[in-house]
Chains A and B, each alone.
Chain A
Amino acid sequence: MKRSGFDYYAPESISEAVVLLSDLGENTFVMAGGTDLLIRKRHGMIFPDAVVALKKIKGLDRISVGPKKGLVIGATALLADVAAHKGIQNKYPAISDAAKNTANVQIRNMGTVVGNLCNASPSADNAPALLALGATLSIAGPQGDRTLALEDFFLGPGLTALKPAEIVIAATVPPPPANSGAAYVHLSARGKVDCSAVCIGAHIELQGRKVNNARLFVGACAPIPMRTPRAEKTVMRKVFTEKLAEKAGAAASEEALPITDVRATQDYRNSMVAVMTKRALLLAHKRARS
């Protein structure tokens, strides 16, 4: 019989959490804010035997911005705190914009940025900007610690490269290069509250007026947040203009693989990938110049 309750553990250290996860067996779930996990339980998608909560682990909620290490967002740092962090707003506005546009006030007071990534929803609002900025994840597990590029993390809807009993400890974003800018833009059916129908993360570096590097990602339009390399190529080593941004948008739209679902139709998503990619590039460019 499927049980309705579960055992609950709140370890105080990462190593203790890893040991618990290895010992307790497969049907054990890590919990940060629980805003995805408890919904999945409520909808009968999972019946956990045990939950290992991360909130009691000291220092895991840290957020730091430094000249060398860049931005570090700990596993239990809340969406609300990332959204309101002055240092992030200054140096990484695409990241705070994404956190601010995730869910609603209450959910941002409970849920985490790292939980949003680990949940691996194709429409995860915090993924595209972090991907565009080249984020990496610090992971702890029974075989020791490792670092993984966020780009190699998503494998499919709800699927990540985490091995059994591994925990993401933090997401790290390198310091932004000189003359670079990044942006996050999104579109959803009912304004701020619901999950995005299309979301874009863009990062560009300028050398003079020319684009020297570009990373573009589209969320909610493929089984995972996807990179659009042809759109990137469109802008590379060219003088940045609005026309160029529009061309890149058209290329991204051809690359994206959206489906029709409750949030939007395939056609609408295809059109909006073009529009939103262009807008993200224009904003990233503006930030790179200022």
Chain B
Amino acid sequence: MKHDIQLMVNGDSYSLAIDPSRTLNQVLREDLNLTGTKLGCGSGDCGACTVIVDGRSVSSCLTLAVEVDGKEILTVEGLAPSGEKLHPIQEAFIEKGAIQCGFCTPGMELSAYHLLSQNPTPSEQEIREGLSGNLCRCTGYNKIVEAISVSADRMNRKPSKRKSR
């Protein structure tokens, strides 16, 4: 039996009728065409599918869409809603060369977003712990850690920017 759900994704509201066994990852990518959220392992290990649900980072491959009915979801598309002006985290990723193939990047950036929302001034160790659920096959992580550290500094200097996301 299909379930009627209401999703609030990046500020837009969607009404959907979905099979309850479908994951949030499937619904985002297949029904809403929001393909910025990736599917890697499908088993909670790689973090490529990370999205923010009600302020917390989760693996969308292990989240049933029916379970997030009525909740607020942020995907990588929502980090730069205008499509032009990038989020400070994204700017820093580009600047620091923290992106190679880019497959892990949306998940990395949303994990960074979650980390900085909980801890605006993380140490290097805390950044690494904050990324414990995200794998990257290309960069060796150092550039990613640097990028997050730089974006944290900038976001703290301009707190108004952070709120407007």
- Given A38-B62, A105-B132, output 18 extra A-B contacts at Cβ < 8 Å: A8-B3, A8-B21, A8-B66, A10-B67, A34-B64, A34-B67, A42-B42, A55-B67, A80-B56, A103-B44, A104-B47, A105-B57, A105-B130, A106-B50, A107-B62, A107-B133, A110-B63, A193-B132
Tell which of B50, B56, B115, B131 has the most Cβ of chain A within 10 Å: B56
- The yes or no answer to A23 lying at the interface (CB within 8 A) is no
CA distance A39 to B23 in the complex (A): 12
Which of B23, B64, B114 interacts with A105 by CB under 8 Å? Answer: B114
Taking a contact as CB atoms under 8 Å apart, the answer to whether B20 and A110 are in contact is: no
- The yes or no answer to B26 lying at the interface (CB within 8 A) is no
CA distance A4 to B22 in the complex (A): 10
The chain B residue sitting closest to A109, CB to CB, is B56
A residues whose Cβ falls under 8 Å from a Cβ of B: 4-8, 10, 34-35, 38-39, 42-43, 51, 53, 55, 80, 103-107, 109-110, 191-193
Which of B20, B67, B132 interacts with A5 by CB under 8 Å? Answer: B20
Q: Which residues of A contact B124 (CB under 8 A)?
A: none
Q: Which residues of B contact A110 (CB under 8 A)?
A: 58-59, 62-63
Question: What band does the interface of chain B fall in when counting residues whose beta carbon is under 8 Å from A?
Answer: 20 to 34
CA distance A187 to B129 in the complex (A): 16
CA distance A55 to B67 in the complex (A): 8
- The yes or no answer to B111 lying at the interface (CB within 8 A) is yes
Q: Which residues of B contact A192 (CB under 8 A)?
A: 129, 132
Q: What is the count of residue pairs linking A and B with beta-carbon distances less than 8 angstroms?
A: 74
* CB contact list, B39-61 vs A, under 8 A: 42-45, 47, 50, 56-59
- The yes or no answer to B19 lying at the interface (CB within 8 A) is yes
The chain A residue sitting closest to B56, CB to CB, is A109
Taking a contact as CB atoms under 8 Å apart, the answer to whether B111 and A5 are in contact is: no
Taking a contact as CB atoms under 8 Å apart, the answer to whether B56 and A104 are in contact is: no
Taking a contact as CB atoms under 8 Å apart, the answer to whether A7 and B20 are in contact is: yes
CA distance A7 to B58 in the complex (A): 23
B residues whose Cβ falls under 8 Å from a Cβ of A: 1, 3, 19-21, 23, 42-45, 47, 50, 56-59, 62-64, 66-67, 111, 114-115, 129-133
Q: Which residues of B contact A107 (CB under 8 A)?
A: 44, 59, 62, 133
CA distance A103 to B67 in the complex (A): 21
A-B residue pairs, 7 tightest by C-beta: A104-B133, A8-B20, A5-B21, A109-B56, A104-B132, A106-B133, A106-B59
Taking a contact as CB atoms under 8 Å apart, the answer to whether B21 and A106 are in contact is: no
CA distance A6 to B67 in the complex (A): 14
Taking a contact as CB atoms under 8 Å apart, the answer to whether B62 and A39 are in contact is: yes
Can you name 28 A-B pairs with beta carbons within 8 Å? A4-B21, A5-B21, A6-B20, A8-B20, A8-B21, A8-B66, A10-B66, A35-B44, A35-B62, A39-B43, A39-B44, A39-B62, A42-B43, A80-B56, A103-B44, A104-B133, A105-B114, A105-B129, A105-B131, A106-B47, A106-B111, A106-B133, A107-B44, A109-B57, A110-B59, A192-B132, A193-B45, A193-B132
- Minimum C-beta distance from B16 to chain A (A): 14
Q: Which residues of B contact A106 (CB under 8 A)?
A: 44, 47, 50, 57-59, 111, 133
Q: Which residues of B contact A38 (CB under 8 A)?
A: 23, 62, 64
